[in-house]
Every structure is written in C-alpha cells, then in structure tokens.
Chain A
Amino acid sequence: MGEMMGDELLRIENLHVSVEGTSIIKGLNLTINRGEIHAIMGRNGAGKSTLANVVMGHPAYEITQGTIHYKGSNIEEMEVFQRAREGMFLSFQYPAAIPGVQVGTFLRKSVASVRGEAPPPREFRKELKNAMEQLSMDRSFLSRYVNQGFSGGEKKRLEILQLLLLQPDLALLDETDSGLDIDALRIVAEGINSVAQNTGCLVITHYQRLLDLVKPDVVHVLLDGKIVQSGGPELALKLEDEGYDWVEALA
C-alpha cells in the first residue's frame, strides 16, 4: 500500500456487522487521518469493541454491508496479521495469555514480524529499555509469560509497551483505561500521547478521565451500532455530566 499524502488512514462507510447472526453495527461511518485522535464513547453493548475487532479483522465478525478502507484499500479480504504488518494495532480490552512464552521473546518476535526483519539485538535492547522506562515497567516483566497471572493494570501496560515498540500507523485502543489506577492511567496516557502525533488513534472508552489526559480531536457517541453524535472534546464532558439519555432522545 502506498503512502497517502492526504494521510487518510481509515475510512469506514455504511458498515454493518453481525456476530453469529446478531446484528451489532448498523450503518457506521468514520474517517480517521494520521495525527488525529478519535474517541468512541457509548454504553456497554453499543458496539464499541465490535468496531475495534472488525477493523483488526477478527474472524468471528461478519461484515454484511459497507466497507472498511485502510490506507486507501478495501481490507475485507486482508488477514489479521497482514493488517498488523501494514501498521494496524489493537490494544486489547482483555489480551489473551500465552503460557510459556516469555514477554521478551514475544516482543522481539512481534517487532520482527511487523517490521519485516529482526531488529539488531543491541538496538532492540536499547529501544526496549527506553520504552519500559517510559512506562515504569520493571525488567522482570520480560521473563514472565505473556499476560499469564498479570493484573489488569499489568496487561494494559504490556499493551501500551507494544504500542510504543510497534509504532503503528493506526492504533485501536479498546478500553485501555479500564482497570487502571490514576497513576497507571497517567503513564499509559503519556505512552499514547507519545505516539499520537504520527498515528491515527481510535480510543474506545466509557469514561472521561482518559480523555482528560489524551486529548481527542473528535468524540463520537455510539448508540445501538451507529454513531449518533460527533463533536469536540466538550461532548465527552457533557456525557460525563449528563449521561447518555439525552443522546438516546436525539436518536
């Protein structure tokens, strides 16, 4: 895929998605350009995680109508790992544990896969050290097994560590703030901000508190599989104060 000078990364048009025959997303439109942070807010079950998963290519989600374009190409047929190699990244709400695979090995192999070649060991060690320091992560993380026995906060930190190392073009961050205390939230937010300039970010969250730290350019309200309202950061504040009832009334 060629670089788009207009820097449109993601264009979703009239997207309809079902899971096991149940329709979840029902006509969604969204465009994200490089350097933009978009927040998606909405109640449980509105389709937020489905949106992140379907963009990443989860096989359980079926696109029944509409298109997703990434860097100008329709990606419906593109495999998950190819999307990753093309610079797409999903920070998981519930990342899977991979028993027996050490974090250090996993990171090195993932960086090699996404970059298309193994990084020189010494440079990679340095890169890793810096990123872990930025996230206040102890070196002992590297010898633990991926997400096994991790606390919620540790899992999220590992996701953001990968975000820093993989330097994606498009980052889908699915409830990265859940399960974090305020200090951890600040560290994670700084991590996101440090890549956001060159990345298009889709930040999925329930809460305003992450958006105090990661300033969105656009806030979207997702209701029953559709974006019903979009606006600036003030929209997130309004949702925080007034809840979602008024949005429902609009819809």
Chain B
Amino acid sequence: MTQDANEAVGDYRYGFHDPESATIRFDKGLSEQVVRDISELKNEPEWMTDIRVKAYNHFIEREMPTWGNCDSLEAINFDNVTYFLRSSEKTEKNWDDVPEDIKRTFDRLGIPEAEQKWLGGVTAQYESEAVYHSIREDLEEQGVIFLDMDSGLKEYPELVKKYFGTVVPHSDNKFSALNTAVWSGGSFIYVPKGVHVEMPVQAYFRINAKNMGQFERTLIIADEGSSLHYVEGCTAPTYSTDSLHSAVVELIAMEGAKIRYSTVQNWSANVYNLVTKRGVAYKNATVEWVDGNIGSKLTMKYPSVLLKGEGAHAEIISVAYAGAGQHQDAGAKVHHLAPNTTSNILSKSISKGGGRSSYRGMLQVTPKADGCRSKVVCDALMLDEDSRSDTYPTMEIGNSTADLEHEASVSKISGDQLFYLMSRGHSEEEAMGLIVNGFFEPFTRELPMEYAVELNRLLELEMEGSIG
C-alpha cells in the first residue's frame, strides 16, 4: 500500500492507492471503437452492443447540462479518462482468491468483516469490474439473484433485455448516455415474488487508478410483494487530477414490493460524481432512497421515483456535506403518475469552508393522479460565512386534489448551542461535531448501524481543524 504525501489531501482516510495492476487497460479517450471494444471484450449479445453505440452517438450529440455547476462540468476532459480497466481476470467467490493488493484494500475498508457480520451478500467492484462476489446460500435457495451486472447479462439475458434502460433511457441526459455506452460492473438483482431479503446486500465501489472512469450499471427488480435493502459505499484515492464516476441505477418495484437503496458516497475530492438514479413503483409498492453525499468534487445526483401504480409510495432522505472545494448539487424528484400515491422528501445539507450545497427538487402531480399527498422538507446548515447553500424546488401540480407541504430552512449553529456543549467539556470542534451529527440524525438513523457509526465518525473528522 502506498500513500503519496503530496497527493493526500486533508484527513480523507481512504485516499491511499495501490500500485495499478491492470490485466487489460484501454487507452485514454472515447470513440465508437472503444465502445465496441468494451462490448466485444465482454462477449455481449449484439443487441447490447447496439444499445451502447446508440447511446454513444447520443452522448456525442448531447449538450452539457446548462444548469448545476456548468463551469465545473465544462472542465471535464473526456479524452483524459480511462474508460475500461480490468484489474482481475475473474470475479472471485472467496476473498482469499482476490489478488493480494486488491484484497488488502477491501480489508482496509472493512468489507469482508462487514460481510461476515451483517450482510446478505456482497459485490466488491475495483475499477471497471467486480473482483469479488458472494451471496448467502439461503437467499440463493429462495431464488434471489444477486450478481454483478456483467454476469447478470450473461446468465439472465432475457431479464436484462426486458428491463435494461426502461427506467433510465440512454437519452435521459448526457451522463446516462455516457454510462449506457461504456457501462461495466454494477449489480443485477432479482427478488422473486413474496421473498423478503432480511439482511441488506451491499455493493462497494472502489476506484484505484488515476484519471479513471467508473461507469457501473445497476438494475434491481423486486417482484410482487417482495422486499430488499441494498446498500452501497464508495471511495477513491486522492489524486491531483480528476476521476469520473458516472453510474446509472434503475429500480423496479412491482405491486406491493419494497426496495430501499442506501448510499454513503465518500469519493475523494477529485472525483466527479454524476449519477442518475431512478426507481419505478407500481401499485402499493414503495421505493426508498437513503442517499448520503459526503465526498467528491462535484456531485450532481437527484434520486427519483416514478409512482406509476395506485397507492405507491416514495421516500427520499438525502444529506449532503460540502466542504472546501466541494459542490454537492443533490436533491430528489418524485412524479405522482397515479391516484392516491404519496411521497416524503427530506433533504439536509451542510456547507463549510467555502463549500457549496444545492437542493434541486422536482415534484410533479399529473392530472389523473387524484388524492396524492407529498411532503418536502429542506434544511440547510451553514457553518461559516464563506459557504453557500441554494434551493431550487420545482413543482408541477396538475391536479387540484393534491395535498402538498413544503418547508425549507437555512440555519447556522447558534452561540447558545456551542456555549452549552462547551460548558459540558466539549471543545468547539467536538461541539460542532455533535451538532452536525444531530443535524444529519434523521438520515443516519435510517442506515444500518455500522454505516451510521462510520458516518458520524467521518463528520466528526470533518469538523477537526475547522476552528481558526
């Protein structure tokens, strides 16, 4: 394990990197040939190659978004990105078989330990592909499919063909087009009718190489009356040049099913994190996004739910922490497309040291969606005068029976709170750590305990050295 002191920034403890070990590494830059090469290398069916090429053409034609952080987006150099890097010949089922360097990294990130303790299954992706994958036998026996996406396409081509790109079409936005063109890795999950997966399954994404592009693709289908909790984490080394992470996640919750998708994103401060996450909920189904954004240089991500069936429910809880040099442009979108659908959106953001956080929300109620209810709450906490927080809520309400609530607040840490906590022996930094953890608590309490503890610890670290 090496840690380049020049490249280590702040207290980011995941900023270490391994020597690059590539069995296959594409030259930097993107072309139709690169897209075809990725598909060929993976032995994909022709229809997938066609989708990729079509998406590539759309990506080339599509303009950059004219909103969000345009200056930062324009600085992305797509020619300086490695689009495919294979670091291990195959996906192992036993940690001992994972190449030593890579295994050490995941050991250091606590992944094998977490698997033993509390997970129903694990995928560990390193660069472009999964290097490790396992699922508990009892889940397999119940017919639960949990694979990395490449294996999913190989083993269940009909299922993938039926659902791939149906929730997030390649033409949705420039980065969904890019992902569709060059996707590699990610998770493919199918939960059969009536099966409740009691333990969360986890995917962990690690970028190691410089100027790497990671484009995982995740598709989760929960059949009627089933339920699943999927957890993802991600980190990367700290480099002085940028990396790009652009994922697409599609969730499909059939009638009466429930999917919860929890993320703690902790990319290093040189990673662009431009992700499209969307779920569709059919009759009486629930899709929940629990989305935490702590790391990255620029995140643009707005988990969304299409409420397509009567009585469907969406729950989106997101937090964003924007420190020095970071812009978290996050939010939530809910489309009420059917009657009596309900949604709750809670967004909390913290800006510090000149960091910038934006809430960008969309709430839509279509004319035929009678009797919908929605509550949106956005709270921003500013830790100093240099930081910035903005709210961009959009509402398109086409049905007068909708019952909508919207609350927004921007606050600062009060002197009274600090004095009170300091009078109990807490230094100013510790006091701020407590207040910040408390502010994120409505999010943290939704996470598995191990993640919650880790998140609180991370935030406390962020508060260190914050008092001039």
A binds B: yes
Task: Bits for B420-464, please: 1 = Cβ < 8 Å to A, else 0.
Answer: 111111111011001101111110000000000000000000000
Question: CB-CB contacts of A104-124 with B at 8 A, as 1s and 0s?
Answer: 001001100110000000000
Interface residues on B, range: 20 to 34
Contact B417 A96 (CB under 8 A): yes
Say if the beta carbon of B94 comes within 8 Å of chain A: no
Q: How far is the CA of A85 from the CA of B441 in the complex (A)?
A: 27
| A162-B425 Cα distance, complex, nearest whole Å | 12
Q: Which of A80, A106, A114 contacts B434 (CB 8 A)?
A: A106
| B414 interface residue per 8 A CB criterion | yes
Pairwise interchain contact B437-A101, C-beta atoms closer than 8 A: yes
Q: Is the interface of B mostly helix, strand, loop or mixed?
A: helix
Chain A residues with a Cβ closer than 8 Å to the other chain, count: 30
In the assembled complex, B385 has its CB within 8 A of some CB on chain A: no
Nearest CB to that of A98 among chain B residues?
A: B438
For chain A residues 70-91, which have a beta carbon within 8 Å of chain B? 79-81, 83-85, 89-90
Q: Which of B422, B437, B439 has the most CB of A within 10 A?
A: B422
Complex CA distance for A95 and B414, rounded to whole angstroms: 12
Complex interface: chain B residues within 8 A of A56 (CB): 419, 423
Contacts of A80 in B (CB 8 A): 419, 422-423
Q: Does B415 touch A at the CB level, under 8 Å? A: yes
Q: Which residues of A contact B423 (CB under 8 A)?
A: 56, 80-81, 83-84, 89-90, 92
Q: Is the interface of A mostly helix, strand, loop or mixed?
A: mixed
The reply to whether B422 and A84 form a contact with Cβ atoms under 8 Å apart is yes
CA of A59 to CA of B423, assembled, Å? 12
Min Cβ gap A111→B in Å is 8
Name the A residues within 8 Å of B424 (CB-CB). 81, 84, 106, 110, 113-114, 162, 166
The reply to whether B437 and A96 form a contact with Cβ atoms under 8 Å apart is no
Q: Which residues of B contact A182 (CB under 8 A)?
A: none
Evaluate contact between B425 and A98: CB separation under 8 angstroms.
no
Closest chain-A Cβ to B151's Cβ sits at a distance in Å of 41
Residues of B within 8 A of A106 (CB): 424, 434
Inter-subunit contact A109/B434 (CB<8 Å) = yes
Is residue B416 within 8 Å, beta carbon to beta carbon, of the partner chain? yes
Which residues from A are CB-within-8-Å of B414? 96
**A99 close to B (CB within 8 Å):** yes
Whether A99 pairs with B419 at a CB distance below 8 angstroms is: no
| The one of A58, A81, A99, A162 that contacts B426, using a Cβ cutoff of 8 Å | A81
On whether the beta carbons of A81 and B422 are closer than 8 Å, the reply is yes
B434/A99 in contact, CB under 8 A:
no
Question: Counting CB contacts under 8 A, is A244 at the interface?
Answer: no
Does A21 lie at the interface of the complex (its beta carbon under 8 Å from any beta carbon of B)?
no
In order of increasing CB-CB distance, the 4 nearest A-B pairs are: A100-B438, A100-B441, A113-B425, A101-B438
Chain B residues with CB under 8 Å of chain A are: 414-417, 419-428, 430-431, 434-435, 437-442
Residues of A within 8 A of B (CB): 56, 58-60, 79-81, 83-85, 89-90, 92, 94-101, 106, 109-110, 113-114, 145-146, 162, 166
| Besides the known contacts A99-B438, A109-B430, 7 further A-B residue pairs in the complex with CB atoms under 8 A apart | A79-B427, A96-B416, A96-B419, A100-B441, A100-B442, A101-B441, A109-B426
